[in-house]
Chain A
Amino acid sequence: MEWMITANEPGKTYLMQGNEAISRGALEAGIRFAAAYPGSPSSEILTMLGHVADEMEIYAEWSTNETCALEACLGASFAGIRSLCVMKQNGLLVVGDALHSASLSGVKGGLVLVVADDPSAHSSTNEFDSRHQSRSAAVPMLEPANMQEAKEMVKWGFELSEQLQQLVMVRTVTRINHGRSSVILGEIPREKQVPKVIGEWDRMVAINWFKALQVAKVDQAQTIFEESPFNWYAGPETPDMMIVTCGTGWLYSVEAVEALGVKDSVGILKIGTTWPLPEKFIVNHLARTRKVLVVEEVDPFLEQNIANIIAYHPELNIELTGRHGQKVIPRNGELNPDVVRNALANMTGTTFQGPEVMLIPFEEAVPLPPRELTFCAGCPHRASFFLLKQTLRIQEGQGVVMGDIGCYTMGGQRAGHFLYNFLCCMGAGISAAEGLGQLTRFGFKQPVIALAGDSTFFHSCMPALVNAKYHDSNMLFVILDNSATAMTGFQPHPGIGLTAMGKTTEPISIQKVVEAIGCPVTVADPFDIAGTTEIVYQLLKQPGLKVLILKQECATLAVRKRKKAKVWVEQDLCRGDECGCGRFCSRVWGCPGNIWDYEAGKAKIDEVVCVGCGVCVSLCPAGAIKIEGGEACE
């Protein structure tokens, strides 16, 4: 809970979410600056800091993209201010150049970069290991194993950062960010940092002159890590087998050892300073054993660095196993207590005695319908995808659609009638369309369409739009403007007019930006399906770059603001299964508000779920869906 992160109760224990613990840790370190771009599972951190910003006298910003966020933190750090930068795994790749360059220039005020990975991609399009970047960018990296460590590492990270004059990365995973556990609060300093004067000859420059220094900082970090309280060994003096683990792997390993009863033969070496590895410390402990199992999330990063250490120390005689060989732990996917226990059982030749379980043969099991993702009731994306799909079919030109990242990514699945042909990363859709749209000169005849949301537009589409306009690619760029960064939890973006700290500010008009670049722009309402279909159809006839803004507010936001209209199905008008309908509203339109009453054999509106947008009213072939009252959706 938010009040926990500012509570003046040092020593008190609270149940805290990992993200809350991280926010608390940053405040306990006395930060005055925080910048981030929303990305699951990290979004809550800046949201909370934004809410408490006034109270804690800090500055918190939802930057337009991760590069702006990291670079803004560099600016604040230059004046000696402790800055926190937060992003998800993909964001770290977005800041690649900035990260590597900043590592070369070093920092002044402590700068901690919290990166949240998403093993098994629960809320991402991909599973990615951010730790490689710390090695590549020569940035020391800490990996918390629980929520308390998340707080402590972020807090200490600032000290380390200032000691080394270098960025420090803290790598978390979904189970830490979104998990909850007991955390003991520390003290929040009362004295607030004041920006230092930047002298004429003070420098923070990323030039190769500092390469040797950059490398030396890694060595310095390694020396510090040799004594770190975040690394420890627990187990027998000379174990038959040692588990070397970091992050969430630690608690799973402890539970696995307990469950198999192998405490006397298996030791656990827990590493919290995952890069650079405390080599001496590790060699000392590895010397006790012959067999090592490395347990970590996503890639065999720790494992292969341990392998390096073993290679450089021929006196060690170790059989090393981990994700790399895929012998006992799968190469892909999140860790869980069963995966780790099974791996340990395999390596120790033991079996687990679990509780009594009933196994139901497949033929006897009740068949369960899968639960798929769909757009919320009243979502403008449902309307946008419906009308785009139908227009492309009517137009009979086999249009190609490039998607992008946001709530509307789901448009590539059933909820959006499988509209996409192409999906990459944020801002990729429009440029991929630009390239394809240049092939008209070689005989490519199919219409090319790119989609992007409003937040995505600001994040990475602007240079791409300049590129497309400047080279006059034959394509239609559709901006799905629902006035929200919805997928990650409705954080504000530059088109909204609200900051992370709750201040109102001048929103930036997407339409004006597009016009300023010189593109012909059409604005349409996706809820007017028939009208907008006609508009898209006509736009596809024209050559060159066209921009269409589909503007309609996100339903989840709209329903909070307005009185809901009442929508119902006139039962005697409903055609249901018959020719002329075939359950069109629930089966094809697919809004969760449109449900099928199996007993009555008619369509119905789920009043709890329906937000009163009225689009289904316009789609019913019998005019059976009625709407009354409420305030109209603009």
Chain B
Amino acid sequence: MPCLDPDCWSIVRVCRLFISKRKSAPISSSPPKAQPPGIAQAWSRSILIPENRLREGNLESAGIELATEGADGVEKQIFRNLSGKKDRGVKSYDVTSPFFLRYRSVKATSLNQTHRDMNAKMVDFGGWDMPLHYGSQLDEHHRVRGGAGMFDVSHMLALDIKGETARDFLRQLVANNVDKLTQSGKALYSCMLNPEGGVIDDLIIYFLTESHFRLVVNAGTADKDLAWMLARRDEIAPGLEIIPRRDLAMIAVQGPEARARVWQVIAGSQAETENLKLFQATFFDKYFIARTGYTGEDGFEIMLPAVDAVEFWNALHAVGVAPAGLGARDTLRLEAGMNLYGQDMDDTTNPLESGLGWTVELKSDRNFIGKQALLEKPVKQQLIGLILLDRGVLRSHQRVITRPDQNEGEITSGGFSPTLEQSIALARLPLSVSAGDEVQVVVRDKMLRAKVVKYPFVRNGKILV
């Protein structure tokens, strides 16, 4: 038996030296356009991770990077042992060999190596190898609430919708009404529904021009979303271009000091972005800067060419912005009362029962996919907040028993709130429950008391409950 240790290079040398060229699936119906150098690399980056580490889910995933580098027809496969201290070779390999059968391909953002260099604990998140934390999730959380933190959110997918029929397509595609977008750069949060009224995904839509909108969708749902959009495009708006922008990196800089730190790093950007209102974005130089976020703090979400992401990230770090991982991102968004797709809503849940009624526009005569189902189905449940009164930690899927009627509900997202220093949750409960009530939560073999509250729990550093 050859050595199967992923850190051991010797086995790799005996693997056959070929691999089929990794190509991205054809996605836009429009003819491929000339791409600037670096895009091919951004498209095809993936990482091989030992299967047993993925099963553990939370083990550090020292792995092997497999990427296509170069562009303009001059491409080469590179193979890099990420668990080693330095690059040990540039070769291509047979991924069907027994050695590789123990590995699974996981996608990597352009900041992957940077996260590893910063000692991040990496996890598989929706098929992406992403940082969970860089040492302490709690510290990262507090840095964002009290100063400035940054998140690599390049795993999320930006899509450009281009063509004369863009607005009309989106009117029908999503539950919120894009007619609310009248000023260039303005953003809208919305759900994209299936005909049954279930949530395919939640997304942000930026209005740029009448023939150009930009969407940002979740990482884990990106393939599903794209397939859905392309199929609806063919029915509703043939000829409209839907262009995935994997050539872009996205970095969220969040916290009371976030904007000032960005202005320090991007020379000249202050004058252009100081007066951006919430949910407003603008292009500046190579950056697309939006005053949006997922933490309940002020800040920017910034798109830029993936090839420039490492330099930008390091520059932010140099001015005191703390790297923050998915762990802190989750506790921050939970405190801010922001939904997480796959937990608080999914294909089978109604947005009106997921705390997202405010994003569904039913008043106009506009017809959108899922509207009929929403109008026909009575709303029986609500998403509402819980604060645990006893000791313990609320977690998703725990049962909630309402009093005194003994109706049942379920926690959709729960955890320890670092700001409140107690456990909080979002729960889907019967409409009979209201803020101020006390409920019981089944935690293992105990019934714990929790108070029902309106969320958000925390906004702009202040506790609201």
Do A and B assemble together? no
List A residues at the B interface (Cβ < 8 Å): none
